[in-house]
Structure 1
Amino acid sequence: MTGRGRVLPRLGAGAARRRHWVLAGWVLATTAGAVLGGSVYDRTDTPESSRPGLESTEVAERIDELEPEGESVVAVIAGREFFATDLVSQASRIMFEIREIDGVSEVTDAYTSGGVIGDDGESSLVVVELERGLTEDEALSVAGEVAEALRAIDAPQVLVGGELLAVQAFAEQAIADTVRGELIALGFLAVALLLILGGLRAAAVPLAAALAVITTTLLALTALADLVPVSEYAVNVVTLLGLGLAVDYSLLMVFRFREERTADRKAPLDVLLSRTTASAGRALLVSGLAVATSMLGLYVFADPLLSAMALGGLLVVVLATVAGLTLVPALIAVAHRTVPARGARTWVWRRPARARGGTGVLAGLAGFAQRRPILVTLTGVGALLVLAVPVLQLQLASSDASALPPGSEERRTAEAIEADFDEAVQPLSVLVDGDPEVAQVQGLLEDLEDLPGADEVFVRDDLDGVTWLEVVPEGRQAGPEAQELVRDVRALGGLPLLVGGPAAELVDAKDATVDRLPLALALVLLATFVLLLVLTGSVVVPLKALLLNLLTLAATVGVLVAIFQWGWGSGLLGFEPWGAIDLTTPLLLSLFVFGLSMDYEVFLLSRIKEEWDRRHDDTHAANDRAVLAGITATGPVVSAAAICIGIVFLGFAFGELVAVKEIGVGMTVAVLLDVTVVRGLLLPASMSLLGRRNWWRPFVPLATAAPSAGRAPTRRAARR
């Protein structure tokens, strides 16, 4: 046995012998995380919305240098005739008071400075610019004072919002959604674990592991907050993945321990846990590496928000893996007498396993798939492709205030401005080096005016030899027409120019994502392939797994398009569709689905490989028996893990933020498809079709098999 092969068994045996020391260490870490980790919420930063190195980012930076501006607060005063004497008098007085607030740079309103009045004559727009250089906390404090002063105006409707307050609302809602998702998930999860494991103490093992993983990860993020920016969204990922992975890994270890104990009831506890970690622990380690690689894939996009999520994701994956290999065996060692055998009669289940349904759902599906492999393969692949069809109409957009809950003031403000104040639409900013009087610049102005989708074009300023043009798009400021206008402007020949603004930022973000997506997928696919190659010694099995994962991902995104873009079932889920999917959702789903699908893939394949190696027979029938035996043995843990992680993700589908709903619903759909259609049907059907070709392995040194098929094991191998 190699040195590497001895590590995992020793971890299990050591956790059994020194369980009280292991538990004491984790209790201290968990307590510290519970006491100190919560402060991470007060130390989080909102990540930058713009990606470095993009053309729109360069335009924003140059404009900021040429004409520096601070954050702004916008308000809509409506519901009463604008020219009412008492309203004009009161609003004018308050506008002058706002100008006196420390941190306010400029106030533009229709009462005192010639601002904008709505078309209905009963609404007006107020823009309050804050001083440049304020920290985020200082700007929010000043914005709070401004909002309080504006709300003192005696009008039927005073709505206060703007990008600064909208970003803050997003962050607060993200935290609220996390808490709500935790409470919903934990309640249902506790019931599910009780039913699955058949006892209170047994059910407490995965919940204790999840608590330890989440709190220690929050503690680690708190410590890192002094070194690197930590986002609120990293905390969301910690909760989501922490619950899911900790429960998955705990169930894998508990189920394998029960199996080892049933197979050898006289073996000492440390021997049983040594065998458990030697087999299940190896699958757990490979799965953890796969999920960690998926998190690393987020860094490829060079997006501040995704990088923040990747940081939280990496930490929680590492700690979930460590907990699965140390804390969970120690918990099992303490509670092993109260962990009922599979199918045993307990106070939860009064009937034995046979009376409750035989060998399990996945084993039944696998048996059906092996009897009709061609039909099942064609039907399963066809069904996934049909679900993926809506992807062809996928529209991506950056979440703005319209993605906030319908009743939020920031969203209502944005909707009122868009409906009543065309002047407030943010234009495209076009920067050209040169004097605006130069004939070439004048020709550019004429070309811009002739472009379809350009509502108005004018010269904003001439700053230090740079001509700043603004092109007002038709429709929404970052809608499809505005995005097409960005591409048309950039396609103009003649003078070199730079294009910025909200629509340009979205176009650049989408293009950058498309450019970097192949690299991210290549990283994840290659790492996944290598891990499965090392696990199984086969080249065919990893390739097939990657293809099935891609099918699952395509079908999941297709379902999301139908729900969140087209609005199918929006009333049931409690949201209003906004005609697009958040730009980050497909990226997160791509990597989350690949990472978490590996849990079930590794759980099943590692056991199928054990069965294949044990039989020493390379016939087609032996392959089918190994596949069915592996799925029969591991199917219950995969089904249980899928139910639990589905509950976790479904809890987040009840969040108020549409982007959070998209991830919650998307991951729930992915888990459902993965466990039923992919693992239950397509995996056994495709392995039955391929037969012994599943195990083709040109790189024999990488194979981790026991003795080769058709050869009897040596005495040394048997002793190992």
Structure 2
Amino acid sequence: MFAAWVTKLRWVVVGLWLAVTIAGAVFGGGLFDRLATTGTNRADSQSAVGQRHVDELTPTGSHVYAVVEGLAPYDPKLVASVSAAAQEIRAMPGVKEVNDLYTGVGGRIGADNRSVSVEVELDPALAEAPREALEDRVHDRLERIQAPSVHVGGDKLAERAFADQSVHDLAIGESVAFAALLVALYLFFGGFLAAALPLAVAVASVLGSLLVLLGLSHVTKVSEYSLNVVTLLGIGLAVDYSLLIVARYREERQHRDPDEALRVAVRRAGRAVAISGLAVTLTLAGLTAFAEPLLAAVALGGAAVVALATLAALTLVPALISLTGDRIRPAAAVRWGGLLPRLAARAQRNPARVALLATVGLLVLAAPLLGANLANSDARALPGSNEARQAYDVMESKFLNDAPPPVSVLLQAGPERADVRDLMNRIAAQLPGELLRQDVRSDVPAGWTILDLTPKGKVGDRPGYDLVRAIRAMPTPFAKWVTGPAAEVVDYRDSIAGRLPGAALVVLLVTVLLLFALTGSLVIPLKAVLMNLLTLAATLGVMVVLFQWGWGQVPLFFDSWGGLDLTTPVLLFVFIFGLSMDYEVFLLARIKEEYDLRPDTGRAVLRGITHSGPVVTAAAVCIGIVFLGFAAGGLVAVKEIGVGMAVAILIDVTVVRGLLLPAFMGLLDRVNWWPRGPVKY
């Protein structure tokens, strides 16, 4: 019925999607002007509340700094050039303070004795637009200092660089992905017409997604990071779903006329697409259980974009196929390898041994996850060629000795009180392994104290996190808040850990219920959950090796900062479960068809994989191309998602679907279909 309806209204369907595409092209660009920097922590976290109090008590403006290298600190030309720049910047309206070595206090000489710093603080009362304009003026003047090397950076400049790099990466990722997809789809289908259909749907989905995200930007924040992540997911799924329907149509064309072949393709493959799309949409919605701003933005945007891609595949693809008549060649005209059938046949010959070896192999890949360092990305997530990143690196290595930023402790009591001094003594006495230095901040209003505690180690090392937890555990007769970058990571980790069971429950229920609806079995969904967990663990283990250990720096063109972005495992958890459902549904739908014809599990598994294996392989190649296309960008956090999904797809389509799925189903035989067997449709 649905296929007949779409065929009858094909011009209307195509016209509506064309209107969406044009509207997205015309108005979607407005989204880029509304992108915002989205924080990782909730507003009610202790670090966020404490930082707001600190900002109210001791307001500080945006900081811009320059690291000037290549000359002796007191070289006459350097002294004159830096002094002139400092005086000009000091005279700019909106500049609060300039610290340099020659005309102000606070300027520093680098550890190499061949570099100096200039630090500029802007008025904290400046609104965003005038602040950014002033930052640009200060940046331009600092860059004109006469020295062999001048790098200008700052927190706000790094945020803006992140946004600019995100948009640049999006354009590069889409270009690489679409070009490579066209080649891959042409090789699979053997013709441009069939290859163009999934790409047309992807274009409509991407431009439609811009409209969806533009609408969401009026309700909630849409971050630069979530735009990239959501877009790559939308492109990948649009191509995946379209490819499945087109491939099934070509297969049915071997022995049916075009109209009947389209009806069967939509009924069979369309059902799998609908179930898979619903699964991915609902698993993404499960991210809202975390309630962190960034994850909430990805959840809302991702769910909307996946729903749009699913709708496009189910309506636009049949409409376009109907318009092509019989010009799309039957599948018999194209030859394609049988990787999955060969793997499945091998697994069925010795299922117990294959299941054991494959499981052990995945657990070995997962082992590095035990030593994962998860933290928030900072300027180190920018590519090494970015000036803000270079300034950060030089400042850390030559001026800050790679010391971590301080942990700030806000006390609602003055420093003159005995109990405040007692707390300071307890901190020094009880935390010698974590604490390097303790300072009392000056210029704090009466009745308050701010302690700046410098942890031992380097940026992102464990002593900083241990220090935060230890101080929070110390009882005090007055209110206290612990804030700073290390406290933000601790709060983010705790929040995710506390809410992970709820999000996991949503994802697992979606997997179980939808696969039960497809197969009538509870065993198959539980087995799918187990295999997805193995895929996730193995993928995260590989990610630790590539990004935290730095083994992927050369082939992937990035500089490791010794950890993974804390958001990466959460997003990969949801994405991997959602996308693994694609291949699970694609394969099980065909296995179930074969089992309906003849209730022999081994035969049904092998024939189902033989029939659907080529399209699953092609879908995996295509979506892998999309993710690797985005991995070509410069942002390490986005690169982690792109590479992580490509690794997960490789593991899932070869080891999990090719070996574990047929091995487990072979071992369980009829138990697979408990309690009531496949549901006919």
Q: TM-score range by the shorter chain?
A: over 0.9
Q: Does 1:484 align with 2:466?
A: yes
SS in 1 for 2:410: strand
SS in 2 for 1:114: coil
Q: Which of 405, 408, 428 is residue 426 of structure 1 equivalent to?
A: 405
Q: 2 CA distance for matches of 1:681 and 1:26?
A: 40
Q: Which of 415, 425, 442 is residue 436 of structure 1 equivalent to?
A: 415
Q: Does 1:556 align with 2:539?
A: yes
Q: Does 1:670 align with 2:644?
A: no
Aligned to 1:454: 435
Pairs within 5 Å for 1:428-577: 428-450=407-429, 451=431, 452-461=433-442, 462-495=444-477, 497-577=480-560
Q: Note closer, same or farther for the CA distance 1:136–1:308 as it changes in structure 2 (3 Å cut).
A: farther
Q: Does 1:175 align with 2:167?
A: yes
Residue 425 of structure 1: CA displacement? 5.6
Residue 167 of structure 1: CA displacement? 1.0
Pairs within 5 Å for 1:180-191: 180-191=172-183
Aligned to 2:278: 289
Is the Cα contact below 8 Å between 1:56 and 1:505 reproduced in 2? yes
Residue 378 of structure 1: CA displacement? 0.8
Is the Cα contact below 8 Å between 1:477 and 1:503 reproduced in 2? no
SS in 1 for 2:290: coil
Q: Which of 13, 38, 42 is residue 22 of structure 1 equivalent to?
A: 13
Q: Give the aligned length.
A: 675
Q: Does 1:310 align with 2:299?
A: yes
Is the Cα contact below 8 Å between 1:214 and 1:238 reproduced in 2? no
Instruction: Give per-residue Cα distances to partners, 1:580-600, cap 9 Å, x unaligned.
Output: 111111111111111111100
Q: Note closer, same or farther for the CA distance 1:477–1:448 as it changes in structure 2 (3 Å cut).
A: farther
Q: Does 1:124 align with 2:116?
A: yes
Is the Cα contact below 8 Å between 2:281 and 2:303 reproduced in 1? yes
SS in 2 for 1:343: helix
SS in 1 for 2:254: helix
Is the Cα contact below 8 Å between 2:550 and 2:559 reproduced in 1? yes
Residue 90 of structure 1: CA displacement? 3.6
SS in 2 for 1:317: helix
Q: Note closer, same or farther for the CA distance 1:100–1:568 as it changes in structure 2 (3 Å cut).
A: same
Residue 120 of structure 1: CA displacement? 4.5
Aligned to 2:138: 146
Pairs within 5 Å for 1:26-41: 26-41=17-32
Is the Cα contact below 8 Å between 1:11 and 1:325 reproduced in 2? no
Aligned to 1:609: 592
Aligned to 2:92: 101
Task: Report the residue type matching 1:528 in the other structure.
Answer: T
Residue 227 of structure 1: CA displacement? 3.3
Q: Note closer, same or farther for the CA distance 1:243–1:336 as it changes in structure 2 (3 Å cut).
A: farther
Q: Does 1:705 align with 2:679?
A: yes
Aligned to 1:583: 566
Q: 2 CA distance for matches of 1:121 and 1:279?
A: 72
Q: 2 CA distance for matches of 1:456 and 1:144?
A: 35
Task: Report the residue type matching 2:348 in the other structure.
Answer: Q
Q: Does 1:685 align with 2:666?
A: no
Q: 2 CA distance for matches of 1:374 and 1:105?
A: 71
Q: Which TM-score applies when normalising by structure 2?
A: 0.95
Q: Note closer, same or farther for the CA distance 1:557–1:231 as it changes in structure 2 (3 Å cut).
A: same
Residue 133 of structure 1: CA displacement? 4.0
Instruction: Give per-residue Cα distances to partners, 1:252-307, cap 9 Å, x unaligned.
Output: 11122223333433xx61x4333222221111111011111221122222222222
Pairs within 5 Å for 1:382-393: 382-393=360-371
SS in 2 for 1:165: helix
Q: 2 CA distance for matches of 1:486 and 1:223?
A: 39
Residue 43 of structure 1: CA displacement? 2.1
Is the Cα contact below 8 Å between 2:216 and 2:301 reproduced in 1? no
Is the Cα contact below 8 Å between 1:255 and 1:637 reproduced in 2? yes
Is the Cα contact below 8 Å between 1:185 and 1:648 reproduced in 2? yes
Q: 2 CA distance for matches of 1:521 and 1:693?
A: 26
Q: Note closer, same or farther for the CA distance 1:672–1:477 as it changes in structure 2 (3 Å cut).
A: closer
Aligned to 1:92: 83
Q: 2 CA distance for matches of 1:704 and 1:11?
A: 23
Q: 1 CA distance for matches of 2:108 and 2:62?
A: 22
Q: 1 CA distance for matches of 2:265 and 2:69?
A: 68
Q: 1 CA distance for matches of 2:347 and 2:127?
A: 61
SS in 2 for 1:430: strand
SS in 1 for 2:66: strand
Aligned to 2:234: 242
SS in 2 for 1:338: coil
Instruction: Give per-residue Cα distances to partners, 1:218-254, cap 9 Å, x unaligned.
Output: 1222233333322222321233112211111111111
Aligned to 1:652: 630
Pairs within 5 Å for 1:629-648: 629-648=607-626
Task: Report the residue type matching 1:60 in the other structure.
Answer: Q
Q: 1 CA distance for matches of 2:669 and 2:75?
A: 84
Q: 1 CA distance for matches of 2:560 and 2:113?
A: 30
More divergent stretch after superposition (455-464 vs 593-602): 455-464
Task: Report the residue type matching 1:53 in the other structure.
Answer: D
Is the Cα contact below 8 Å between 1:478 and 1:506 reproduced in 2? no
Listed as ranges, the gaps of 5+ residues in structure 1 are 1-9, 707-719
SS in 2 for 1:469: strand
Instruction: Give per-residue Cα distances to partners, 1:528-549, cap 9 Å, x unaligned.
Output: 1111111111110000000000
SS in 2 for 1:167: helix
SS in 2 for 1:475: coil
Aligned to 1:3: none
Q: Which of 403, 407, 413 is residue 391 of structure 2 equivalent to?
A: 413
SS in 2 for 1:481: helix
Task: Report the residue type matching 1:607 in the other structure.
Answer: R
More divergent stretch after superposition (532-541 vs 652-661): 652-661
Residue 603 of structure 1: CA displacement? 0.8
Residue 456 of structure 1: CA displacement? 1.6
Is the Cα contact below 8 Å between 1:197 and 1:339 reproduced in 2? no
Q: Which TM-score applies when normalising by structure 1?
A: 0.90
Residue 464 of structure 1: CA displacement? 4.1
Aligned to 2:318: 329
Q: 2 CA distance for matches of 1:425 and 1:675?
A: 42
Residue 382 of structure 1: CA displacement? 1.1
Instruction: Give per-residue Cα distances to partners, 1:586-637, cap 9 Å, x unaligned.
Output: 111111111111100011112212222233x4xxxx1111222221221121
Residue 29 of structure 1: CA displacement? 1.2
Q: 2 CA distance for matches of 1:223 and 1:392?
A: 41
Q: 1 CA distance for matches of 2:560 and 2:215?
A: 39
SS in 2 for 1:52: coil
Aligned to 1:136: 128
Task: Report the residue type matching 1:475 in the other structure.
Answer: G
Task: Report the residue type matching 1:441 in the other structure.
Answer: V
Q: Which of 63, 74, 78 is residue 83 of structure 1 equivalent to?
A: 74
Task: Report the residue type matching 2:679 in the other structure.
Answer: A
Task: Report the residue type matching 2:53 in the other structure.
Answer: R
Residue 693 of structure 1: CA displacement? 0.7
Q: Note closer, same or farther for the CA distance 1:324–1:694 as it changes in structure 2 (3 Å cut).
A: same
More divergent stretch after superposition (652-661 vs 493-502): 493-502
Q: Note closer, same or farther for the CA distance 1:50–1:73 as it changes in structure 2 (3 Å cut).
A: farther
Q: Which of 339, 354, 370 is residue 348 of structure 2 equivalent to?
A: 370
Listed as ranges, the gaps of 5+ residues in structure 2 are none
Q: 2 CA distance for matches of 1:419 and 1:240?
A: 35
* Root-mean-square deviation (Å): 2.0
Q: Percent identity?
A: 50
Q: Note closer, same or farther for the CA distance 1:426–1:599 as it changes in structure 2 (3 Å cut).
A: same
